[in-house]
């Protein structure tokens, strides 16, 4: 089990954050290190991250939850999510692969129907549906909301 500490990201963490985002196959658009919470090991190396990402008009998204493969299955993602949720206003949205639905339900998120989504997320669903036609995955994009 890895010991870790949560702290706000520093500018010097940005390269590590981008690396985790790439490793996790997460959308790298709109990354701003100032919004990130990171988990660091005893050597102060970034091993996980997450952010609350604004989309304008009061729309906030729990986003960019990523844990280095060597540090997974140790409760680090849960700690980051709980910390970010504790300090975030509601409602709060998130986008994830449909297979992650049970994980986020544990935190109180519920899946949204298309007509319940803010316009930004509707556009993302259409984009991913279009791209899915050219891939060989059965996973869909799930938009969830926490009141």
In the chain the domains, ranked by start, together with CATH numbers, are 1-88 (3.40.630.30), 90-147 (no CATH)
What pLDDT digit, counting tens, does each position of 113-125 carry? 999 999 999 999 9
74 vs 30 pLDDT, higher one: 74
Where b means 16+ CB within 10 Å and e means fewer, 107-120 reads: bebeebeeeebbee
Tokens of 25: 């196959």
Q: What angle do CA 12, 61, 46 make, to 5 degrees?
A: 25
Residue 2 pLDDT level (bands cut at 50, 70, 90): low
What pLDDT digit, counting tens, does each position of 57-108 carry? 889 999 999 999 999 999 999 999 999 999 899 999 999 999 999 999 999 9
Residue 56 pLDDT level (bands cut at 50, 70, 90): confident
Task: Answer whether residue 23 shows pLDDT above 80.
Answer: yes
């Amino acid at each position: 089990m890895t010991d870790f500490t949560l702290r706000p990201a520093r500018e010097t963490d940005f390269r590590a954050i981008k690396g985790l985002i790439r490793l996790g196959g997460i959308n790298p658009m709109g990354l701003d290190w100032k919004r990130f919470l990171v988990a660091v090991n005893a050597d102060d190396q970034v091993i996980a991250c997450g952010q609350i990402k604004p989309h304008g008009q009061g729309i906030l998204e729990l986003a960019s939850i990523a844990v280095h493969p060597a540090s997974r299955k140790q409760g680090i993602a849960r700690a980051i999510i709980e910390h970010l949720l504790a300090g975030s206003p509601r409602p709060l949205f998130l986008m994830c692969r449909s297979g992650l639905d049970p994980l986020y339900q544990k935190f109180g998120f519920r899946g949204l129907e298309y007509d319940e989504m803010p316009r930004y997320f509707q556009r993302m669903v259409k984009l991913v549906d279009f791209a899915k036609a050219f891939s060989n995955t059965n996973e869909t994009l799930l938009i969830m909301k926490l009141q």
